[in-house]
Structure 1
Amino acid sequence: MKIYKSETGARLLRERYLEALTSWPVPHDEVRVPTPEGETFVLVSGPESAPPLVLLHGSGSNSAEWAPRLPSLAERFRVYAVDIIGEPGLSAETRPPLDSDRYAHWLDAVLDHFGVARAAFLTSSFGGWLALDHAIRRPERVAALALRCPIGLGPMKKGFVVKAVFLALLGEKGRRKSVAGTLGEPAASPIVEHQLLVSANYRYRTGPFPVFDDAALQRLAMPVYAVVGAEDAMVDSATTKRRLEAAGARVDLVPGTGHSLPDSADLEFLTDASANGDFTA
């Protein structure tokens, strides 16, 4: 199945992304990396000698998600903002099965292209699932994990799906309310406006997303920090917090916050991990 609902919609979303790249906040290189899953688009910024940091955005998004944070990140790290395959960015549209090892091989190819043996990861939502999958399968390649509202640790809330379907039947007003509730953002927020545009033209991945078992989480030997929203409409944040803490992670549960999070302590965590030598291969 194609990931876009029409060629017109695909072109519209690409044009919006390319427009955002013209005002990228830091000097950068745009690199198209060959991988077993097709070409992958990566934005590279920051000092070449700085510790490597991979950014993985959420579902229905692309690396433009990280633009507001790039100035502070690129001061301290060599940043690789990766457009995830099968998402509305500039990478290949392929979607390997989530219960396979193909995403790990894909990330291996991206890291190998840049000669990066070991990197830290800063992620959002589905990007967190990908980073956890890679860290469990390739622990020697992951220096630290900073996860924002990761999925794959607690069950997706069933009530969210039922409510979303009901609100979608109410037309534009219902869809706006559904997106705003999902993100925990005001209905008039620019973030909600953008996601409405995406949902009108893009086919989201359908679950269920595999949940990592306790044995897999115990293989996370690297430093792990996560931040989750207490009012997340999609993800059971309490379970996420409990399971990650049992695996040795530090987790912040932000009250009154949904799936769209404010800035957190992840930059401080990554800086400390770098200073403590956790990036050393």
Structure 2
Amino acid sequence: MPVGEFRNDKARDRFFTAYEEAAGRLWPSSSADSDVVTSFGTTRVHRLGAGDETPFVLLPGSGGPALMWHAYVGRLAASRPVIAIDPVGEPGPSVQTRAIDSGDEWSRWLDEVFAALGVGRAHLVGTSYGGWVALRHALRSPQSVASLTLVDPGGFGTVSRKFIAWMIACGLAGFTPRPIRHALAGRLRNVALRDDDAMRLVKATFGFRRRHILPPPLTDDELGRVTAPALVLLGGHSQLFDAAEVAARVTARMPHAVAEIVPEAGHDLVLWHPGEMAEQIVTFAADARTSA
């Protein structure tokens, strides 16, 4: 399988112009950024906060750099250190050199990042594809996961044609004039389309060829082996799955999991009330500290 890459130099330049502008406005200047060499490529990490508490490690969704967590990191870093990761094979400053063909390989990549940073355990926070990666890591390397917070995560069903069509429709909507884009945000249930500040960067990500595998669903047996305390937040109108069915399955199969449905949200849940969700994540990690 080939690796993710920008389509050409012009696409790369367009992306990083938008990325650097957005990072300058939205990302804390206190962030300590560095590159970690792994067997899958060079991974950019952003460290915030201080102290020796077990850190949060943030994994973005498909097509999104770590910058997508900008509305969360200030509150999270006030409680414990934060490490926001730009995954290899996604648009951003990380550079993929080797394909990742399975959930176990994603976990090995994350193990290598942890080892380079001297992180023994972490509170993993992931959304969408990043949520699936967090689940796979909790399965393969349970000793390194103090808790999981999963925001409308992948891994709870096969990615359907309907979901892919929704993603394509949202992408096309991003290129429409502002009034039309804002109107389509409600129709498509994607609040990102109303975020004028973010849309320039979002549009620039379409110059990147993303070549990761689709996330295979976890079996009931696998879910039963995820022993870390887990907070699973689901959009009531998620385009990825039936939220009520997933909540029931999480409650029945994952031994230390709590599932909550946000009725008004879709798969865009991570963008809904980020201040309130950050507080919820902080509280959950604090309650799980006895296992950290």
TM range (shorter): 0.7 to 0.9
Residues 35, 25 of structure 1: CA spacing in aligned structure 2 closer, same or farther, 3 A cutoff? same
Preserved CA contact (<8 Å) 2:87 2:94: yes
Moved more, 249-258 or 175-184: 175-184
Output one character per residue of 1:165-188: Cα deviation in whole Å (capped at 9) or x when no partner: 689899954995998465522744
Partner of 2:222: 216
Output one character per residue of 1:194-249: Cα deviation in whole Å (capped at 9) or x when no partner: 47514531234465321111111111111100111111223343333222222142
Q: Does 1:123 align with 2:126?
A: yes
Partner of 1:7: 9
> For 2:122 and 2:192, how far apart are their aligned partners in 1?
35
Output one character per residue of 1:93-121: Cα deviation in whole Å (capped at 9) or x when no partner: 34634425221111111111121111101
Partner of 2:87: 84
Where do 1:60-139 residues align within 5 Å? Answer: 60-94=63-97, 96-99=99-102, 101-139=104-142
> For 1:99 and 1:178, how far apart are their aligned partners in 2?
38
| Identity within the alignment, % | 29
> For 1:167 and 1:268, how far apart are their aligned partners in 2?
28
> For 2:30 and 2:219, how far apart are their aligned partners in 1?
41
Partner of 1:277: 289
SS of the counterpart of 1:76? coil
CA-based RMSD: 3.1
Q: CA deviation at 1:276?
A: 4.6
Q: Does 1:25 align with 2:28?
A: yes
Higher helix share: 2
> For 1:205 and 1:33, how far apart are their aligned partners in 2?
21
Residues 15, 58 of structure 1: CA spacing in aligned structure 2 closer, same or farther, 3 A cutoff? same
Residues 35, 269 of structure 1: CA spacing in aligned structure 2 closer, same or farther, 3 A cutoff? same
How many residue pairs match? The answer is: 280
Residues 270, 128 of structure 1: CA spacing in aligned structure 2 closer, same or farther, 3 A cutoff? same
Partner of 2:261: 253
> For 1:164 and 1:272, how far apart are their aligned partners in 2?
30
Where do 1:177-216 residues align within 5 Å? Answer: 180=185, 184-185=190-191, 187-190=193-196, 193-194=199-200, 197-198=203-204, 200-205=206-211, 208-216=214-222
Residues 186, 151 of structure 1: CA spacing in aligned structure 2 closer, same or farther, 3 A cutoff? closer
Residues 87, 95 of structure 1: CA spacing in aligned structure 2 closer, same or farther, 3 A cutoff? farther
Output one character per residue of 1:42-101: Cα deviation in whole Å (capped at 9) or x when no partner: 000101323211000111111111111111111011100000110011111346344252
Preserved CA contact (<8 Å) 2:75 2:278: no
The TM-score, its normalising length taken from structure 2, stands at 0.83
Partner of 2:57: 54
Preserved CA contact (<8 Å) 1:229 1:259: yes
> What 5-or-longer segments of structure 1 have no aligned partner?
none
> For 2:228 and 2:10, how far apart are their aligned partners in 1?
44
Preserved CA contact (<8 Å) 1:182 1:233: no
Residues 148, 26 of structure 1: CA spacing in aligned structure 2 closer, same or farther, 3 A cutoff? farther
SS of the counterpart of 1:34? strand
Preserved CA contact (<8 Å) 1:136 1:219: yes
Q: CA deviation at 1:274?
A: 2.9
The TM-score, its normalising length taken from structure 1, stands at 0.86
Residues 21, 217 of structure 1: CA spacing in aligned structure 2 closer, same or farther, 3 A cutoff? same
Where do 1:218-257 residues align within 5 Å? Answer: 218-246=224-252, 247-248=254-255, 249-257=257-265
Partner of 1:145: 148
Letter in 2 for 1:212: L
